[in-house]
Amino acid sequence: MPAKPLVILLVAFIAATLLEFSWLNGLRALEARFSDLFVAAQARHTRPDPGIVVIAADEVRNFKRKVDAGANSAITQYFYNADAYVRFVDECAAAGITVPIVPGIMPIGNFSQLARFSDACGAEIPRWMRVKFESFRDDTASIRAFGLDVVTALCEKLLAAGAPGLHFYTLNQAGPTTAIWQRLGL
């Protein structure tokens, strides 16, 4: 299958809103009209809520509905726990979801900025990472070095676990992502 530009479900949501029908119908209409041009991807959290340890059955069912409506891949929210990704993929497979689920990766260059962003969007930073980053205080070089080590190890684990690829959230900072790619030998 040739490479296709990625269209996030937001397009289906906007089309559905403007045309006053459900976003699922919007996705179906886009897929029917442009299936040879676009991939309909669904954004996913590996954990639907920071307070929930087990993937909620409703969350997986909702994801399944979106896949059944035409989403043919997914990109997760960023995370730092490879086991959570593997568990999420396993839960999806058990529900009959077979589309590629690409893990979202957020390189770490500025811990205080990452912590604020993660707290605001519900992404989990494991406690052991927070403690280590906080121990560096204002030592930017140590923060960046540790961030590269942690994220590179995460990517290695994800690829070894069978992740179909990696999606980097670069936030216009290509340097850390480039360093990770080089470390991975990609």
Domain containing 162 equals: 6-184
Taking 90 as the threshold, does the pLDDT of residue 97 lie above it? yes
- Is 1 inside a domain boundary? no
Q: How many domains does the chain have?
A: 1
Q: Which of 48-52, 64-68, 115-119, 178-182 has the lowest mean pLDDT?
A: 48-52
Q: Which of 22-36, 72-86, 93-107, 134-148 has the lowest mean pLDDT?
A: 22-36
pLDDT at 77: 86
| Helical pair 82-94 and 140-160, crossing angle rounded to 10 deg | 30
Phi and psi at 2, nearest 5°, equal -70, 155
The β-bridge partners of 41 are: 8, 73
Q: What CA–CA distance (Å, rounded) separates 39 from 41?
A: 6
CATH code (residue 25): 3.20.20.220
| Count of residues in the chain | 186
